[in-house]
Amino acid sequence: MQTQHYCDGKLPNCISVHFNLEELTTTNTGVSNTPHAPNVISNLRKVAEHILEPVRKHFDRSVIVHSAYRSPAVNKAVGGSNNSQHSRGEAVDFRVQGHTVHEVAMWIKDHLTFDQLILEHFLPNSPQSGWVHCSYSHNNRGSVLTKFKGSQIYHPGILLVPPQKTVK
């Protein structure tokens, strides 16, 4: 059941049919997060069109955005990478109401074009943990990774458990 609002496409804060600028720039850091560069808004529109809207349509549920655009100050405050795609408006961290992040990440991997897809801060045996990080850019690589909570290692693929270390 869809519960998110609909943008009419004419309001200045509309990014796509179901997403507005406010929800893609909200932060709890207390630091200003207003995008000033025109390319950031354009990039957020592409992320919404190519990632968020297809996910919402397929799962027919609200998409809860945790982080999309991050100003340089916000990115620094949250410990983001210096070259974070969030700072260019090319990435979004989110969950889908009523679905596990693993399920959502697998669907994106199999059905959408993207630059980078990460099942992030996931805990084995805790299907509601973590979030999906997905980016879209002008040169999409199709990179697929999993980063388990408490680890700094990014593993190739969408995994339910960390790979076992082999002993020689």
Q: What is the pLDDT of residues 41-76, one digit of tens each?
A: 999 999 999 999 999 999 999 999 999 999 999 999
Contacts of residue 92, Cβ cutoff 8 Å, sequence gap at least 6: 24, 47, 51, 52, 65, 67, 68, 86, 133, 134, 135
Q: Are 6 and 15 in contact (CB under 8 A)?
A: no
- CA-nearest of 85, 86, 87 to 139 is 85
SS3 category, 45: helix
Q: Which pTM does this prediction carry?
A: 0.90
Domain coordinates in residue numbering, the chain = 21-156
- Average confidence (pLDDT) over 150-156: 95
Convert the pLDDT of each residue in 18-41 to its tens digit: 999 999 999 999 898 999 888 999
Domain 21-156 class in CATH = alpha beta
Work out the number of other CB atoms within 10 angstroms of the CB of residue 124. Answer: 12
